[in-house]
Structure 1
Amino acid sequence: MTDESMPNPLVIGHRGASGYRPEHTRSAYELAFALGADAVEPDLVATRDGVLVLRHENEISGTTDVASRPEFAARRTTREIDGAPLTGWFTEDFTWAELSTLRARERLGALRHASASFDGRYPVIRLRELFELVDRAADDAGRVLRMVAEFKHASYFAGIGLPLDELFAAELEAAGWGDGGDRLVMEAFEPTVLDELGARGIRGARVLLIEGSGAPADLIRSAGSAAPSYDAFVTREGLRSLAGRFDGVSVGVARLLEGSGADAAAPGPLAGRALVDTAHDAGLGVFTWTLRPENRFLPAAYRRGKGKAAWGDWLGAFGAVLATGVDGIFVDHPDLGVEARALAAGRG
């Protein structure tokens, strides 16, 4: 996953600059690049007519105004998503023309009041618009900018006739990105869709996302209780098994700051610097998600004051993550990631 043209670590705007604007909006993505992000991360889900749209989940009541729209009241339903029942409004029940009439809302409105002040201002956007935005931002910046595309609930979508790998390949071609390349990273919590993207000849790094518990939904569908857990992929043997198949792993910040198993020679799942070093030895890159400054998201040692929305010692926490040697950090506030990287490199 090594690329000499790629800043190290890569600062990735998590759903854009989602700490400052409602996530997955044009404004959030434009602001992410303006604040120095090297890449942005869209979450991809599909509409009924096969358009890839940018939403955190296919259930959209928490990130749009759909619940207040009387014309869509009858669309509220309950679905089983990755083995769990979920009630709400789902992208696969809407055409793109219908979704394009919705307006975005801040998902963490109780915590991020400034971002919530933009509720209702920005429309939902689709993937093809983000390709154009990245191209334009790269031209303006005079440097390579990247997209880290996350495929959500891929086995579920495949099961209802909306294969995300096929839809993505068509979007790449239509956007003039051809078969991908160095500007593209693809990630998913399900290894099957990453294999399918590779089988389609789509170039770009493929990264397996690692949850803190449980097992990949696609493997549970195929193997039931015999499915390997996420923990199994971040043991010494698990990381070695991924080498040559994928280009990296992406782990939650807790595995780097709060996990156990710091000894690389110890059995079981690795954490911290030991995880990163072992992955690097296997030829795998390591990303981590999500670095956020609010007390609610910081480990106890880095919290300051009592308010959940107050910013704690984010620089200390970010610095501790960077000290593990990770190759990419997902941040809601890209400017903070850029500053922490500069300080860690001795340039601050």
Structure 2
Amino acid sequence: MTSQPIAVTALTRSRPLVVAHRGASGYRPEQTREAYTLAARQGADLLELDVISTADHVLVARHENNLAGTTDIATRPEFAARRTTKVVDGERQDGWFTEDLTLAELRTLRAVERLPDLRPDSAVLDGQLPILTVEEVFELRAELAVELGRPVGLYPEIKHSAYFAALGLPIEPVLADLLARFDQNRSDGDVLLHAFEPSSLATLADLGVLAPRSQLMWNGGRPADAGLHDPDYAWWSSQEGLAELVRRGVSGISPDLSMVVSVNEDHSMGSDTGLAARAHEQGLWVHPYTFRAENAFLFTDFRRGDGGSEGDATAGDDPAVKGDLAGMVSAFLDVGIDAVNTDHPDLAVATLTPLTP
């Protein structure tokens, strides 16, 4: 894979990058040491992690602050009284939340597979793997780069920024300190940053963070920090919105797949939306999410039966069967995407290898 710093490759778009979405999360419980180590050894350029805070303001790698779906906390009687209901980014949720636990308490928990029915081989590791701090992921990145003799990058996603700031647990200042400590507060390093909330990216800039930043967005949605009259993601993906991102010093966009290629009513692949071309005209990279190999997540064109066949009566009926991820990735590469953000980095690397000098 790349021999130059990850940020340089991303900014020049010299070739598509492979982003390991929460690690090799198609094979190991997400955001664990095992998931990240496997992803790097499979050839991923960037290890994507989500960043949230504990009660004592330590950053940890979890996709959401509600621990119910990805840890064994529900089986721990000592935490039964901590179960509660909260509204997070406008969504009412029941569970156990990181901001109510200290790091010491969180360290007693173990990860579980988010999708056990689709990924039973990963679920056999339930209850065995500890939760990582973001600092530990930074340390692991450096270790893996030495082991593999090539750059291994990180792609932290700041979660629930305004929510945590309102609790007095702002994520951005702590993350900025980590970047400085690990010599990654630089525009030519091995860390890229992204967030769904534009104010989070602006806060990073105000803190003097130099690492390239990307605006996450999803089809039909609006940022959690948006006021009543603030723009939605449709506007941010427009020519005017993309120009505003450039004015703010943002380096790229991370849209959901359907914002790059439309989806038909039968969930088959539609047409190029033109977003990739519009973004490239502004000098922005396009890092869409998330490519997953199971039929459950593929456009119907790329779903397969148990035998890998196409076009028979049972093709695509089993949601857990792996379909033609390579075909779907290739279709998006034809549109001009600059990274493959995937739960299955080995399959993305295999798809890209014939295209890479």
TM-score with structure 2 setting the length: 0.89
* Pairing partner for 1:13 from 7, 20, 38: 20
Instruction: Answer yes or no: is the 8 Å Cα contact 1:7–1:38 preserved in 2.
Output: no
Instruction: Answer yes or no: is the 8 Å Cα contact 2:184–2:211 preserved in 1.
Output: no
Distance in 2, matches of 1:141 and 1:5, equals: 23
| Cα distance change of structure 1 residues 118 and 29 upon mapping to structure 2, 3 Å threshold | same
The answer to whether residue 202 in structure 2 is matched with residue 195 in structure 1 is yes
The structural deviation recorded for 1:109 is 0.8
Q: Secondary structure at the match of 2:128?
A: coil
The structural deviation recorded for 1:167 is 1.5
Residue 290 of structure 2 corresponds to 290
Distance in 2, matches of 1:139 and 1:198, equals: 30
Distance in 1, matches of 2:296 and 2:14, equals: 29
Q: Secondary structure at the match of 2:38?
A: helix
Q: Secondary structure at the match of 1:118?
A: coil
The answer to whether residue 337 in structure 2 is matched with residue 337 in structure 1 is no
Aligned residues: 331
The structural deviation recorded for 1:6 is 7.0
Residue 4 of structure 2 corresponds to none
| Cα distance change of structure 1 residues 196 and 336 upon mapping to structure 2, 3 Å threshold | same
Q: Secondary structure at the match of 1:255?
A: helix
Q: Secondary structure at the match of 2:147?
A: helix
Instruction: Answer yes or no: is the 8 Å Cα contact 2:261–2:273 preserved in 1.
Output: no
The structural deviation recorded for 1:5 is 8.0
- Structure 2 residues without counterparts, runs of 5 or longer: 1-6, 265-270, 305-314
The answer to whether residue 252 in structure 2 is matched with residue 248 in structure 1 is yes
Distance in 2, matches of 1:237 and 1:183, equals: 30
Alignment deviations for residues 189-215 of structure 1 (CA, whole Å, 9 cap, x no partner): 001011111111111111000111221
Distance in 1, matches of 2:41 and 2:12, equals: 20
* Pairing partner for 2:168 from 153, 161, 183: 161
Residue 274 of structure 1 corresponds to 274
Residue 179 of structure 1 corresponds to 185
Instruction: Answer yes or no: is the 8 Å Cα contact 1:184–1:203 preserved in 2.
Output: no
TM-score with structure 1 setting the length: 0.91
The structural deviation recorded for 1:257 is 3.0
- Structure 1 residues without counterparts, runs of 5 or longer: 261-270
Distance in 2, matches of 1:213 and 1:192, equals: 19
The structural deviation recorded for 1:177 is 2.5
Q: What does 1:1-348 align with in structure 2 at a 5 Å threshold?
A: 3=9, 8-174=15-181, 176-177=182-183, 179-181=185-187, 182-219=189-226, 223-224=227-228, 226-245=229-248, 246-259=250-263, 272=272, 274-304=274-304, 305=315, 306-343=317-354, 345=355
The structural deviation recorded for 1:259 is 4.8
Alignment deviations for residues 95-128 of structure 1 (CA, whole Å, 9 cap, x no partner): 0000011000000111110111111110001011
Instruction: Answer yes or no: is the 8 Å Cα contact 2:15–2:356 preserved in 1.
Output: no
Cα RMSD for the two superposed structures: 1.7
Residue 263 of structure 1 corresponds to none
The structural deviation recorded for 1:84 is 1.8
Q: Secondary structure at the match of 2:341?
A: strand
Distance in 2, matches of 1:333 and 1:37, equals: 9
Between stretches 229-238 and 117-126, larger displacement belongs to: 229-238
Distance in 2, matches of 1:106 and 1:57, equals: 14
* Amino acid in structure 1 at the alignment position of 2:230: A
Instruction: Answer yes or no: is the 8 Å Cα contact 1:20–1:114 preserved in 2.
Output: yes
The structural deviation recorded for 1:7 is 6.0
| Cα distance change of structure 1 residues 125 and 341 upon mapping to structure 2, 3 Å threshold | same
* Amino acid in structure 1 at the alignment position of 2:259: R
Instruction: Answer yes or no: is the 8 Å Cα contact 1:259–1:272 preserved in 2.
Output: no
* Amino acid in structure 2 at the alignment position of 1:320: A
What percentage of residue pairs aligned between the two structures are identical?
43
Q: Secondary structure at the match of 1:290?
A: coil
